[in-house]
Amino acid sequence: MGALGDELVRLRRGRGVMDGDLPGRLGPVLYSMAGIEPGGNVEDLRKRLIRFLEDLAAGLPDDLRTAFAAALALREDVRFRFLDERMEWLADRLQRDVRTARRRADEAIRLVEATASSPASESGDYTDWHLIRLRALLLLDRAAPLAIEERTLVAGLDNLAEISIATSIPVPRGARSEEPVAKVEVLYGGSLIESSWPTATYLRYVIRLPQPLRYGQSHELGVSITTPCDQPFNPRYAIQPLRRCDEFDLRIRFGAAQSHKVWRMAGLPRGMVDDFADPDALLRPDATGDIHLRYEHLQMGRVYGARWSAPG
Protein backbone atom coordinates (compact mmCIF):
# COMPACT_ATOMS: atom_id res chain seq x y z
CA MET A 1 0.00 0.00 0.00
CA GLY A 2 0.93 3.63 -0.39
CA ALA A 3 0.97 6.40 2.19
CA LEU A 4 -2.81 6.79 2.32
CA GLY A 5 -3.36 3.05 2.68
CA ASP A 6 -0.78 2.86 5.46
CA GLU A 7 -2.51 5.67 7.34
CA LEU A 8 -5.91 4.00 6.96
CA VAL A 9 -4.52 0.69 8.24
CA ARG A 10 -3.05 2.48 11.25
CA LEU A 11 -6.31 4.32 11.85
CA ARG A 12 -8.42 1.16 11.91
CA ARG A 13 -6.67 -0.23 14.99
CA GLY A 14 -8.42 0.06 18.30
CA ARG A 15 -11.57 2.19 18.06
CA GLY A 16 -10.89 3.57 14.57
CA VAL A 17 -12.24 7.09 14.11
CA MET A 18 -13.71 6.95 17.64
CA ASP A 19 -10.30 6.74 19.26
CA GLY A 20 -9.83 9.30 22.02
CA ASP A 21 -6.44 10.30 20.60
CA LEU A 22 -7.71 10.69 17.05
CA PRO A 23 -5.63 13.80 16.19
CA GLY A 24 -2.47 11.92 17.12
CA ARG A 25 -3.52 8.89 15.08
CA LEU A 26 -3.93 10.81 11.82
CA GLY A 27 -1.06 11.11 9.40
CA PRO A 28 -0.19 14.03 7.11
CA VAL A 29 -1.93 12.49 4.09
CA LEU A 30 -5.31 12.26 5.81
CA TYR A 31 -4.93 15.72 7.32
CA SER A 32 -4.21 17.15 3.88
CA MET A 33 -6.78 15.22 1.83
CA ALA A 34 -9.61 15.75 4.33
CA GLY A 35 -8.81 19.45 4.65
CA ILE A 36 -8.37 19.20 8.41
CA GLU A 37 -6.38 21.83 10.29
CA PRO A 38 -4.26 20.43 13.15
CA GLY A 39 -5.15 21.70 16.60
CA GLY A 40 -8.88 22.07 16.04
CA ASN A 41 -11.79 20.73 18.06
CA VAL A 42 -11.63 16.91 18.21
CA GLU A 43 -15.33 16.36 17.55
CA ASP A 44 -15.29 18.71 14.55
CA LEU A 45 -12.22 16.88 13.28
CA ARG A 46 -13.96 13.53 13.74
CA LYS A 47 -17.11 14.62 11.87
CA ARG A 48 -15.09 16.07 8.99
CA LEU A 49 -12.98 12.92 8.77
CA ILE A 50 -16.03 10.62 8.76
CA ARG A 51 -17.68 12.66 5.98
CA PHE A 52 -14.47 12.57 3.96
CA LEU A 53 -13.99 8.81 4.37
CA GLU A 54 -17.63 8.06 3.55
CA ASP A 55 -17.38 10.15 0.37
CA LEU A 56 -14.12 8.41 -0.51
CA ALA A 57 -15.79 5.00 -0.24
CA ALA A 58 -19.07 6.01 -1.92
CA GLY A 59 -18.19 4.28 -5.19
CA LEU A 60 -17.39 0.90 -3.66
CA PRO A 61 -19.73 -2.08 -4.02
CA ASP A 62 -22.14 -2.61 -1.13
CA ASP A 63 -20.12 -5.28 0.66
CA LEU A 64 -16.85 -3.37 0.42
CA ARG A 65 -18.40 -0.11 1.56
CA THR A 66 -19.74 -1.96 4.61
CA ALA A 67 -16.32 -3.54 5.19
CA PHE A 68 -14.63 -0.14 4.99
CA ALA A 69 -17.09 1.37 7.47
CA ALA A 70 -16.62 -1.55 9.85
CA ALA A 71 -12.83 -1.43 9.68
CA LEU A 72 -12.73 2.26 10.61
CA ALA A 73 -15.84 2.36 12.86
CA LEU A 74 -17.52 4.95 10.65
CA ARG A 75 -21.08 3.94 11.50
CA GLU A 76 -22.99 4.02 14.76
CA ASP A 77 -23.91 0.33 14.59
CA VAL A 78 -20.31 -0.86 14.33
CA ARG A 79 -18.43 1.38 16.77
CA PHE A 80 -17.10 -1.43 18.90
CA ARG A 81 -14.05 -0.85 21.03
CA PHE A 82 -11.79 -3.38 19.33
CA LEU A 83 -11.11 -4.22 15.69
CA ASP A 84 -11.71 -7.93 16.36
CA GLU A 85 -15.27 -7.12 17.48
CA ARG A 86 -15.90 -5.08 14.33
CA MET A 87 -14.58 -7.91 12.15
CA GLU A 88 -16.87 -10.38 13.91
CA TRP A 89 -19.79 -8.04 13.23
CA LEU A 90 -18.74 -7.78 9.58
CA ALA A 91 -18.42 -11.56 9.22
CA ASP A 92 -21.94 -11.99 10.52
CA ARG A 93 -23.25 -9.24 8.22
CA LEU A 94 -21.58 -10.79 5.15
CA GLN A 95 -22.41 -14.34 6.21
CA ARG A 96 -18.73 -15.25 5.91
CA ASP A 97 -15.99 -16.24 8.32
CA VAL A 98 -13.85 -13.68 10.14
CA ARG A 99 -10.84 -14.33 7.93
CA THR A 100 -12.88 -13.47 4.85
CA ALA A 101 -14.23 -10.37 6.59
CA ARG A 102 -10.67 -9.19 7.24
CA ARG A 103 -9.77 -9.76 3.59
CA ARG A 104 -12.78 -7.69 2.54
CA ALA A 105 -11.69 -4.88 4.85
CA ASP A 106 -8.17 -4.97 3.42
CA GLU A 107 -9.53 -4.99 -0.14
CA ALA A 108 -11.79 -2.05 0.63
CA ILE A 109 -8.87 0.00 1.91
CA ARG A 110 -6.81 -0.87 -1.17
CA LEU A 111 -9.63 0.13 -3.53
CA VAL A 112 -10.28 3.37 -1.66
CA GLU A 113 -6.60 4.23 -1.93
CA ALA A 114 -6.58 3.34 -5.64
CA THR A 115 -9.61 5.57 -6.25
CA ALA A 116 -8.14 8.46 -4.30
CA SER A 117 -4.80 8.09 -6.07
CA SER A 118 -6.21 7.97 -9.61
CA PRO A 119 -5.18 10.90 -11.83
CA ALA A 120 -7.84 13.59 -11.47
CA SER A 121 -8.48 17.17 -12.47
CA GLU A 122 -9.53 19.82 -10.00
CA SER A 123 -13.18 18.99 -10.62
CA GLY A 124 -12.51 15.35 -9.74
CA ASP A 125 -12.82 13.93 -13.29
CA TYR A 126 -10.41 11.12 -14.16
CA THR A 127 -8.18 12.54 -16.86
CA ASP A 128 -7.39 9.44 -18.93
CA TRP A 129 -10.86 9.32 -20.53
CA HIS A 130 -14.44 10.38 -19.99
CA LEU A 131 -17.85 9.42 -21.35
CA ILE A 132 -19.85 11.42 -23.83
CA ARG A 133 -22.56 8.79 -23.67
CA LEU A 134 -23.39 5.50 -22.01
CA ARG A 135 -26.29 3.62 -23.54
CA ALA A 136 -27.53 0.57 -21.67
CA LEU A 137 -30.17 -1.98 -22.59
CA LEU A 138 -31.15 -4.42 -19.85
CA LEU A 139 -33.22 -7.40 -20.98
CA LEU A 140 -35.07 -9.12 -18.17
CA ASP A 141 -37.66 -10.92 -20.30
CA ARG A 142 -35.48 -14.01 -20.63
CA ALA A 143 -34.08 -16.79 -18.47
CA ALA A 144 -30.59 -15.25 -18.24
CA PRO A 145 -30.64 -11.45 -17.78
CA LEU A 146 -28.56 -9.64 -20.40
CA ALA A 147 -27.15 -6.11 -20.31
CA ILE A 148 -25.79 -4.47 -23.45
CA GLU A 149 -23.69 -1.38 -22.73
CA GLU A 150 -22.49 0.96 -25.47
CA ARG A 151 -19.98 3.66 -24.58
CA THR A 152 -18.78 6.69 -26.50
CA LEU A 153 -15.61 7.84 -24.79
CA VAL A 154 -13.10 10.62 -25.32
CA ALA A 155 -9.40 10.27 -24.61
CA GLY A 156 -7.98 12.71 -22.08
CA LEU A 157 -4.39 12.00 -23.02
CA ASP A 158 -2.33 10.84 -25.98
CA ASN A 159 -1.71 7.17 -26.69
CA LEU A 160 -4.70 5.82 -24.74
CA ALA A 161 -4.51 2.11 -25.58
CA GLU A 162 -6.59 0.42 -22.86
CA ILE A 163 -9.50 1.25 -20.60
CA SER A 164 -10.55 -0.38 -17.36
CA ILE A 165 -14.22 -0.73 -16.43
CA ALA A 166 -15.68 -1.92 -13.13
CA THR A 167 -19.20 -2.99 -12.30
CA SER A 168 -20.95 -4.27 -9.21
CA ILE A 169 -23.41 -7.17 -9.30
CA PRO A 170 -24.52 -7.41 -5.66
CA VAL A 171 -26.78 -10.19 -4.47
CA PRO A 172 -29.85 -9.42 -2.34
CA ARG A 173 -29.50 -9.69 1.41
CA GLY A 174 -30.28 -13.21 2.54
CA ALA A 175 -29.66 -14.75 -0.88
CA ARG A 176 -27.30 -17.66 -1.36
CA SER A 177 -23.72 -16.75 -0.55
CA GLU A 178 -21.85 -18.40 -3.43
CA GLU A 179 -19.78 -15.97 -5.43
CA PRO A 180 -21.73 -14.66 -8.43
CA VAL A 181 -20.41 -14.99 -11.95
CA ALA A 182 -21.02 -13.06 -15.13
CA LYS A 183 -19.95 -13.49 -18.73
CA VAL A 184 -18.45 -10.38 -20.31
CA GLU A 185 -18.13 -10.16 -24.09
CA VAL A 186 -16.84 -7.26 -26.17
CA LEU A 187 -19.27 -6.78 -29.05
CA TYR A 188 -17.29 -4.15 -30.93
CA GLY A 189 -14.65 -1.48 -30.50
CA GLY A 190 -11.92 -3.48 -28.77
CA SER A 191 -10.86 -6.79 -27.30
CA LEU A 192 -11.15 -8.15 -23.77
CA ILE A 193 -7.68 -8.75 -22.35
CA GLU A 194 -8.39 -9.18 -18.64
CA SER A 195 -11.27 -9.71 -16.22
CA SER A 196 -11.22 -10.37 -12.49
CA TRP A 197 -13.40 -10.41 -9.38
CA PRO A 198 -11.57 -8.44 -6.66
CA THR A 199 -14.53 -9.34 -4.45
CA ALA A 200 -17.54 -11.61 -4.71
CA THR A 201 -19.68 -8.81 -6.17
CA TYR A 202 -17.21 -6.54 -7.95
CA LEU A 203 -16.20 -7.27 -11.55
CA ARG A 204 -13.32 -5.42 -13.19
CA TYR A 205 -12.34 -5.87 -16.83
CA VAL A 206 -9.85 -4.29 -19.23
CA ILE A 207 -10.45 -3.61 -22.93
CA ARG A 208 -7.65 -3.01 -25.42
CA LEU A 209 -8.67 -0.51 -28.09
CA PRO A 210 -8.08 -1.27 -31.80
CA GLN A 211 -5.49 1.50 -31.94
CA PRO A 212 -4.26 4.06 -29.39
CA LEU A 213 -6.33 7.22 -29.22
CA ARG A 214 -5.02 10.76 -29.41
CA TYR A 215 -6.00 13.42 -26.89
CA GLY A 216 -9.58 14.50 -27.62
CA GLN A 217 -10.28 11.61 -30.00
CA SER A 218 -13.58 9.79 -29.50
CA HIS A 219 -14.23 6.06 -29.76
CA GLU A 220 -17.25 3.77 -29.51
CA LEU A 221 -17.34 0.31 -27.98
CA GLY A 222 -19.98 -2.15 -26.88
CA VAL A 223 -20.02 -4.96 -24.34
CA SER A 224 -22.56 -7.47 -23.13
CA ILE A 225 -22.83 -8.85 -19.61
CA THR A 226 -24.86 -12.00 -19.00
CA THR A 227 -25.68 -13.42 -15.57
CA PRO A 228 -26.81 -17.02 -14.98
CA CYS A 229 -30.55 -17.59 -14.86
CA ASP A 230 -30.42 -18.90 -11.27
CA GLN A 231 -28.27 -16.09 -9.89
CA PRO A 232 -30.21 -13.51 -7.85
CA PHE A 233 -29.25 -9.85 -7.99
CA ASN A 234 -30.56 -6.68 -6.44
CA PRO A 235 -33.53 -5.29 -8.43
CA ARG A 236 -31.87 -2.20 -9.82
CA TYR A 237 -29.67 -1.04 -12.67
CA ALA A 238 -27.72 2.13 -12.03
CA ILE A 239 -24.40 3.85 -12.39
CA GLN A 240 -22.49 5.94 -9.89
CA PRO A 241 -20.00 7.81 -12.08
CA LEU A 242 -16.52 8.41 -10.72
CA ARG A 243 -15.47 10.20 -13.89
CA ARG A 244 -17.21 12.71 -16.14
CA CYS A 245 -20.32 11.32 -17.84
CA ASP A 246 -22.33 13.64 -20.11
CA GLU A 247 -25.26 11.33 -20.89
CA PHE A 248 -26.72 8.06 -19.58
CA ASP A 249 -29.47 6.49 -21.68
CA LEU A 250 -31.14 3.46 -20.08
CA ARG A 251 -33.76 1.08 -21.45
CA ILE A 252 -35.08 -1.87 -19.46
CA ARG A 253 -37.36 -4.53 -20.92
CA PHE A 254 -39.32 -6.35 -18.23
CA GLY A 255 -41.66 -8.05 -20.70
CA ALA A 256 -45.35 -7.47 -21.31
CA ALA A 257 -46.32 -10.43 -19.10
CA GLN A 258 -44.63 -8.90 -16.04
CA SER A 259 -46.00 -6.20 -13.73
CA HIS A 260 -43.38 -4.20 -11.84
CA LYS A 261 -43.25 -1.03 -9.84
CA VAL A 262 -40.31 0.98 -11.13
CA TRP A 263 -38.68 4.03 -9.56
CA ARG A 264 -36.51 6.55 -11.36
CA MET A 265 -33.25 7.29 -9.53
CA ALA A 266 -32.01 10.70 -10.64
CA GLY A 267 -28.85 11.60 -8.77
CA LEU A 268 -29.50 9.95 -5.40
CA PRO A 269 -26.99 9.76 -2.56
CA ARG A 270 -25.67 6.20 -2.42
CA GLY A 271 -27.22 5.51 0.96
CA MET A 272 -30.78 5.99 -0.39
CA VAL A 273 -30.56 3.46 -3.21
CA ASP A 274 -31.33 0.10 -1.60
CA ASP A 275 -34.85 0.93 -0.41
CA PHE A 276 -35.72 3.98 -2.52
CA ALA A 277 -39.48 4.08 -3.18
CA ASP A 278 -40.48 7.74 -3.56
CA PRO A 279 -44.04 7.88 -5.00
CA ASP A 280 -43.07 10.94 -7.05
CA ALA A 281 -40.39 8.87 -8.82
CA LEU A 282 -42.70 5.99 -9.70
CA LEU A 283 -42.79 4.94 -13.37
CA ARG A 284 -45.12 2.70 -15.36
CA PRO A 285 -43.64 0.40 -18.03
CA ASP A 286 -45.36 0.77 -21.39
CA ALA A 287 -47.58 -1.84 -23.04
CA THR A 288 -44.54 -3.89 -24.08
CA GLY A 289 -43.08 -3.83 -20.58
CA ASP A 290 -40.33 -1.30 -21.36
CA ILE A 291 -39.06 1.81 -19.65
CA HIS A 292 -36.74 4.45 -21.09
CA LEU A 293 -34.74 6.92 -18.96
CA ARG A 294 -32.22 9.55 -19.95
CA TYR A 295 -29.91 11.58 -17.73
CA GLU A 296 -27.53 14.39 -18.70
CA HIS A 297 -24.47 15.91 -17.03
CA LEU A 298 -24.34 13.38 -14.21
CA GLN A 299 -22.82 14.39 -10.88
CA MET A 300 -19.94 12.21 -9.80
CA GLY A 301 -20.67 10.07 -6.77
CA ARG A 302 -24.46 10.26 -7.27
CA VAL A 303 -26.57 7.31 -8.44
CA TYR A 304 -28.62 7.31 -11.67
CA GLY A 305 -30.82 4.56 -13.07
CA ALA A 306 -33.86 2.58 -11.99
CA ARG A 307 -34.98 0.37 -9.14
CA TRP A 308 -37.92 -2.00 -9.33
CA SER A 309 -40.04 -4.24 -7.14
CA ALA A 310 -40.88 -7.89 -7.69
CA PRO A 311 -43.71 -8.44 -10.19
CA GLY A 312 -47.16 -8.55 -8.77
Per-residue pLDDT tens over the stretch 253-294: 998 767 788 999 998 877 778 788 899 999 989 988 999 999
Nearest Cα neighbor of 182 from 170, 193, 164 is 170
**Same structural domain, 192 and 259:** no
Region 242-255 average pLDDT: 90
SS3 at position 64: helix
**Same structural domain, 9 and 106:** yes
Which is higher by pLDDT, 282 or 241?
Answer: 282
Q: Does any domain span residue 277?
A: yes
For residue 118, what pLDDT is reported? Answer: 41
The residue count of the chain comes to 312
State the DSSP string of 66-128: HHHHHHHT-SGGG--SSHHHHHHHHHHHHTS-HHHHHHHHHHHHHHHHHHHHS-B-TTS-BSS
Model confidence at 149, pLDDT cuts 50, 70, 90, reads: very high
Q: Model pTM?
A: 0.64
Among 228, 244, 260, identify where a domain stops.
228
SS3 at position 22: helix
Q: Does any domain span residue 132?
A: no
Region 44-71 average pLDDT: 82
**Same structural domain, 14 and 106:** yes
The amino acid present at 43, given as its one-letter code, is: E
For residue 3, what pLDDT is reported? Answer: 72
Which is higher by pLDDT, 108 or 187?
Answer: 187
Q: Does any domain span residue 150?
A: yes
Can you tell me the distance from the alpha carbon of 38 to that of 28, in angstroms, rounded to the nearest whole number? 10
Measured CA distances, 252 to 143, 255, 265, 305 (Å)? 15, 9, 14, 10
In what order do the strands lie in the sheet containing 236-239?
A: 236-239, 303-308, 262-268, 282-283
**Same structural domain, 208 and 239:** no
Sign of CA dihedral 255, 260, 264, 268: negative
For residue 308, what pLDDT is reported? Answer: 92
Region 15-28 average pLDDT: 81
Q: Does any domain span residue 37?
A: yes
Which is higher by pLDDT, 81 or 257?
Answer: 81
Q: Which of 29-38, 57-66, 93-102, 168-177 has the lowest mean pLDDT?
A: 168-177
**Same structural domain, 294 and 263:** yes
Among 205, 228, 251, identify where a domain stops.
228
Q: Does any domain span residue 94?
A: yes
**Same structural domain, 160 and 196:** yes
Q: Does any domain span residue 50?
A: yes
**Same structural domain, 156 and 216:** yes
For residue 124, what pLDDT is reported? Answer: 36
Q: Does any domain span residue 8?
A: yes
Average pLDDT, the chain: 83
**Same structural domain, 213 and 283:** no
**Same structural domain, 301 and 199:** no
Highest mean pLDDT among 47-61, 103-117, 146-160, 256-270: 146-160
Measured CA distances, 306 to 69, 238, 241, 278 (Å)? 26, 6, 15, 12
Region 229-236 average pLDDT: 79
**Same structural domain, 201 and 277:** no
pLDDT digits (tens, 9 = 90+) for 153-206: 999 889 999 998 888 776 665 555 455 578 899 999 999 998 887 666 778 889
**Same structural domain, 11 and 107:** yes
- The whole domain housing 46 covers 3-117
The yes-or-no verdict on residue 12 having pLDDT over 90 is no
Q: Does any domain span residue 122?
A: no
Among 184, 203, 228, identify where a domain stops.
228
**Same structural domain, 7 and 92:** yes
- Residues 168/62, Cβ–Cβ less than 8 Å: yes
Name the domain count of the chain.
Answer: 3
